[in-house]
Each structure stands twice: as C-alpha cells, then as structure tokens.
Amino acid sequence: MADEKKKEQQAEGEETLVEERRPAWRPQDADREYFRYETKRRIQQYSVPPQTIFRPAKPTPTIRDEGHKRVAVYARVSTKSKEQVSSIENQTKYYTDKIAKTPNWDLTEIYSDEGKSGTSKKWRKDFKRMLDDAAKKKMDLIVCASVSRFARNISDLIEEVRKLRTTNPSNPVGVYFETEDLYTLDPNINERLQMQGLFAEWESGNKSRRMILSYDQRICTGQFPVYDLLGLRHTLEGGFIIEEDEALTVKYIFIATVCGHTADEIADVLTEKQRPTLRGRTEWSPAMVNAIMRNERRWGDLEVRRRVVIDYKEKVTAKNDGIRQGAYIPGYHEGIVTPEIARAAHMMRASRFKFGNVPDVYVIEDGALKGFVSISPTWSGIDNQAFQDISRQVYEEDEFEELLHEADILSGKDHSNVISMTLNDYRVAPGVMFMTRSDPQLTLGKRSLKLNGVCRDKLGKGKYIEFLYHPVLEVIAVRSAYATNPNAVLWDESKSSVLQLCSSAFSGAIFDKLDWMKKYKFRFRGVTRIRDGERIIFFFLDEPQILVGKAAKQIETSDTSEGTAKFIPYKESEDRKDALHKAAGIAYPENWQEGLGVSYEIKQKREAVLGAVSATDISNPGRKVINPFIGVIPSVSELEDELEQLYDAM
C-alpha cells in the first residue's frame, strides 16, 4: 500500500510540473493582428528621401517607334510551283517598297527559302543564315508576312524569338508579323504569339492529314500521282511519255551496267559528255547513277506510295511495309528500257560485278546428273522456285512427277516398293556423325558458303570449280572447272586454304526450301566420286550437322544416353520450348534420336544414284536455258553495239 501511495504522489508531481511549463493560452489570430497593425503603422510613417532620383521605364516597344532600325525581311514558300514563286517575288517587291517609304528604316537584306516547309528549320538555309546574322548584330528588326511563314512549329517559333530577344540584351532583335500585327519585343504579346504559333502548327498537321486522305482517295480511284523524271514527262491523264534526248542517258546507264561497267565508270562518262540531269546538273556521281536504276517507272511499271512520312515535322520517312495503302502496277506505261534489261542490270549491280556480263544459266539435260543447275553462289535476286523452274525445263511432265516422288523417298517422306519391306524399319547412322577434318566439308550459313581445303585436294587442286544444285533432290555438287566456264569460281589460295563466298540469295533459297532456322549454320560431309580422272563431290542437304554457335543461347535439347550428341529441332515450323543448351555448339536433327539416322532403304537408293555417275556425266557442261531471273535479252555483242551507238548519240 505504501508503494502505491508513493507512485500516486510522484505522478501528481509530474503533472504539476507539466502544467507549470505550459504557456498561457492565447487567441489563434493574436500574432496575425499584431503584425497587421505594425505593417500599417510603418507604411503611414514612411516617407521618400528628398535626394531620391527616379528613373522612369521606357515606353513599351512598338513597331512604330521613331528610332533608326536596320530591317531584314524573311519570306518563305513551301513549293516551287509557278504560283508560289510569284508569291515570293510579290513579297520581295512589297517589302522593298514598304521599307524604302519608312523614314527611319534601312533595308539590310531579304532572306528567302523556296520550296521549304516551315515545320522545321533544319532544311531552311536562308532562315538559319538570317539567325546567324542577327546574332552578329547585323539587324534590329525582322519583318515577316505571318507567323506561319516564319515557323509552323511552335517550339521553333518560341525558341528563335527568345534567342533574338536575349542573345544580345543591349541590341535585341524583334520580329514583326504583319498579318497578325505582332511585335515580339512587346512583352504583352507573349500569350498571343504562342496562340498564333499553335494555330500555325495545327494547320500544318491538318494539311498533312488532308494530303494523306487525298492520296488514299486517289489510289482507290486509280488516279495515281505522277511527276516528271529524267527521260519521262507526265501527262494530264496520269500517264508518261518518253523524252527522247534524256532517254539516251537513261538507256546508257542500264545497258552499260548490263555490259559490266560500274556506277563510277558510268558517272565519269556522263560527266565527260555533259549530260544534264532533270534539274540541269552535268556533274554525275555513282549515287545518282544508282538512283536512276532504282525507279521502276524507267522500265514501265508504277509503284505508288513506296515510302510514307512518319514525322511530317522532321521529314522522317520509312518504307511503306503495309503502313498505308499502296499499289504496284506492272506495265503501266511504255518504259525507256525493257523489264528484262532492268532485271539484268539489277542482277549485275547486286552481284558487285563479279560476273563479266549477265550470267548464263545451264542445266544438265541427261545422264545421272540430269536436272542439276550450274550456278554461281554469288548470284542475287534468285529463289528456290526459280531454280526449280530451270531444272524442270529438261524433264517431261510425267518424268518430273516421278522425280518429285523419288525426292520424297530420299527425304524419308515416302517409301519405295522396289526394296523388300523388311528393310523399311532399319536405320543407318549418317556419315556426317562420323565426320573428321580429313573429310570434304561444306558449310552453309544464311549469307555465306564455305568449302574446306580438303575439297580442293579431292578435286585435283585445280584453280577453278563449279557448283551444281538440284532443287528437287536437295543435293549440292562441286566439280572442277575451266576458267572459260561462265559460272567458274576461282579458288584463291593466297588468302586461305578454304573457299568462302558471300551467298545471300543462294543460301536464302535453300534455307527457305528446307525451312531451316536462320540462326544456325549447317555443315555437310562430302561424298567424292572419281571417274577416269573426272572428279565430283556430293553434299546431301538432308544429312546436316547443325552448328548452334554462341548466338543461339536457348534451344530445346535432349541428351543421348551416353551424352555424346545433342539432338535439336532445327526447322522454323517446329514448336520449340526454350531450355538452356549445354552442348559445345554441334547438334543433329532431333528426328534422328529415336531411329539414329536415315532409313537403310534411302541409303540404298542414294548409293544407286552415286554409283551411276560416269566420267561423261561429271564433264557434261549442260545446256544453256532461258534465265528465269531475267528473261530474254539481246546477246552480249548486241548489247555492246547498242552501248556504242548510245555513246555516239549523246
């Protein structure tokens, strides 16, 4: 009890101490009323010292100030049409007279940009030059017809007006917009200026949207927009007529390219001949030559809306890959050159002129190699369908159908009834699983083709080789060749013992045909056949060793029981689950895992094909056929004669 009483007394003492420390209560607004009273009293007692000298502010600047002004004029039109050129000339005369009649104004210079949009200052040379001159204090005032002539981009407008006013505070440069009666040195017009700039930018965007809608409507109704080109003049009906003298230049560019001349060589000739461009320039560059060749209207086609504007302010464009409606009309009008000549020129240019002239296409028409196409892996503009069309030219229709069935057998999609059915379920390990460095090897990537040095040894160490490809049987063959062979490939040992070629189109055709994943490379073991000194190596594309590489981080894998091989999906059409790949970078098709390779029947069929190859087959040069990549064009001698005539006529 004593302890409890002691605690109560202690608590009472602490409470008393808190009460003593707490300030006395005051009204909430007591301090506020005090300070209000003191402020009023101080102001009433304050007086201005008698020695004070007041300096009044200058009057608000106006365009009608009487002080002397050095005046510049800025004029701009967005196109170079007859009406717009007239407009800029009228502006120039009007402001020259106006400044001359104003007593305190002196004209310094008239700056003008013709055919330039106001959405950005990037392309307006005179506008930027005027701003530089203003920074150098060469003017006091800039006169412009309207805000939209000065800028259709509100950020550019506000930024440049601010710089003109603040860059040289002792000599600020004002801009007078006559239509809106705005003078930028007047501090009271900032809000009006921003509003006018916003209207100008909105109108520019609205104009862009109207043009897009108009373009859509014209495409839908077949009223395709056309314009003049070098060699072509557009008509009111929306067509083209050939301008004969200019067409000589265009023809020369295409024919010279087909004959093996580079863009640099062609540009030198056109400059030497002083051949004018559409705008009258007589100095040619390789880029200008290539630009002439890119336009499909030169060979009679018409592509509408090839590119579209992504950002109208910055003039950013992009290829119209389905972004907006477009159209392509083959044979729209008479071309300056034929489509075949145009395709031949493009093939020559894309191949970087590795051919002396347009490559001829040969296909073997009989024997064990029937249907094999003689190719150069560096060809461009080709696909698997084109290869198949070439190969098909040497077969009868029923024979080709039988070939397709045979191809299904070799690929494992079908079985033959010739061999005993008891062998159908037997599987044989592909030779590629036992490949060593002493074997001939071919490696295909999505853009490259490589043969190891063993291939050259097996082919007799000749300087030239030739590639053959059967697009149905899916076999590549390599044989020795002479330098006179139009598709001969030089094996240059001075750089490396291996042969590596850029083969974007050829590899692409094979990858597409076999549906391979493009992130992998595929390596094949060659099978060599020697007959009476004639040599050939076969590579079967259905027996690949898959080079995963460092780029493929995640693929589906399955280990063999011994962990010595990896089997992976390698077709683009396969459904794949991502899993970390633990192998060193070499794998095999996943369908080999269960049956360990290809069927014995397919092996027997393939051995029969290889066994039938003779020396005559290996040396068979094949028959020249129509190049489906190009079509029918004149002979090399005829093209060279035409080129000489064009040169003399220019």
Tokens 């068979």 sit on residue = 620
The token duo for 538 is 């076969």
* Model pLDDT, residue 554: 42
- Compute the average pLDDT of residues 181-207: 82
The token duo for 540 is 């079967």
Q: Could you tell me the pLDDT band of residue 425, with boundaries at 50, 70 and 90?
A: very low
Window from 280-294, 326-340, 379-393, 440-454 with minimum mean pLDDT: 379-393
Pairing of strands 566-568, 586-589: parallel
Specify the CATH number of the domain 69-203: 3.40.50.1390
Pairing of strands 566-568, 361-363: unpaired
Q: In 3-state terms, what secondary structure has residue 512? A: helix
Window from 19-33, 56-70, 154-168 with minimum mean pLDDT: 19-33
* Model pLDDT, residue 61: 80
Do 506 and 445 form a contact (C-beta atoms < 8 A)? no
Model pLDDT for residues 591-648, shown as the tens digit of each residue:
777 655 555 555 666 677 778 899 999 999 988 887 777 777 888 788 889 999 999 9
- Where is 334: in which H helix or E strand? none
Model pLDDT for residues 219-232, shown as the tens digit of each residue:
776 777 788 999 99
Q: In 3-state terms, what secondary structure has residue 528? A: strand
Window from 337-341, 400-404, 493-497 with minimum mean pLDDT: 493-497
- Are 69-203 and 232-350 the same fold in CATH? no
* C-alpha torsion angle, residues 66, 67, 71, 74 (rounded to 10): -60
* Model pLDDT, residue 202: 79
Model pLDDT for residues 459-509, shown as the tens digit of each residue:
998 889 999 999 888 899 999 998 888 788 888 877 778 998 888 888 888
How many residues belong to the chain?
650
Q: In 3-state terms, what secondary structure has residue 235? A: coil
* Model pLDDT, residue 579: 38
- Compute the average pLDDT of residues 346-350: 77
pLDDT at 561 over 80: no
Model pLDDT for residues 263-280, shown as the tens digit of each residue:
999 999 999 999 999 988
pLDDT at 309 over 80: no
Considering only residues 468 and 311, tell me which one the structure prediction assigns the higher pLDDT.
468
* Model pLDDT, residue 563: 46
Query: End-to-end distance of the chain based on CA atoms, in angstroms?
Result: 129
- Compute the average pLDDT of residues 90-104: 89
pLDDT at 356 over 50: yes
Do 141 and 171 form a contact (C-beta atoms < 8 A)? no
pLDDT at 454 over 90: yes
pLDDT at 520 over 70: yes
In Å, how far are 295, 306, 329 from 324, measured between CA atoms? 20, 10, 17
- Compute the average pLDDT of residues 304-332: 76
- Compute the average pLDDT of residues 228-257: 91
* Model pLDDT, residue 582: 43
Per the DSSP assignment, residues forming a β-bridge with 475 are 470, 540
* Model pLDDT, residue 560: 38
Window from 122-131, 497-506, 579-588, 601-610 with minimum mean pLDDT: 579-588
pLDDT at 3 over 70: no
The token duo for 249 is 């230049």
The token duo for 293 is 């060749």
* Model pLDDT, residue 596: 55
Q: How many helices (H) and strands (E) does the chain have?
A: 19, 29
* Model pLDDT, residue 580: 37
Considering only residues 424 and 118, tell me which one the structure prediction assigns the higher pLDDT.
118
Per the DSSP assignment, residues forming a β-bridge with 319 are 307
Window from 19-28, 42-51, 328-337 with minimum mean pLDDT: 19-28
* Model pLDDT, residue 285: 93
The token duo for 296 is 């499909």
Q: Could you tell me the pLDDT band of residue 156, with boundaries at 50, 70 and 90?
A: confident
CA atoms of 295 and 228, how far apart (whole Å): 12
pLDDT at 337 over 90: yes
Considering only residues 115 and 104, tell me which one the structure prediction assigns the higher pLDDT.
104
Sign (positive or negative) of CA dihedral 115, 118, 123, 129: positive
Considering only residues 217 and 128, tell me which one the structure prediction assigns the higher pLDDT.
128
Q: Could you tell me the pLDDT band of residue 71, with boundaries at 50, 70 and 90?
A: very high
Considering only residues 498 and 322, tell me which one the structure prediction assigns the higher pLDDT.
498
* Model pLDDT, residue 462: 86
Range with top average pLDDT, 197-206, 390-399, 443-452, 548-557: 443-452
Q: In 3-state terms, what secondary structure has residue 387? A: helix
Specify the CATH number of the domain 232-350: 3.90.1750
Q: Could you tell me the pLDDT band of residue 355, with boundaries at 50, 70 and 90?
A: low
Q: Give 420-480 as a DSSP string.
A: -GGGTT-EE--GGGG--TTS-EEEE-SSEEEE-HHHHHHTTS-SEEEEEEETTTTEEEEEE
Pairing of strands 105-114, 69-77: parallel
- Compute the average pLDDT of residues 136-144: 93
Q: Where are the domains of the chain?
A: 69-203, 232-350, 362-619
CA count, 13 A, side-chain hemisphere, 31: 3
* Model pLDDT, residue 416: 46
- Compute the average pLDDT of residues 225-241: 87
Percentage with pLDDT > 90 across the chain: 27
* Model pLDDT, residue 327: 82
Cβ-based burial of 271 (10 A; exposed 0-12, middle 13-18, buried ≥19): middle
* Model pLDDT, residue 469: 92
- Compute the average pLDDT of residues 312-330: 75
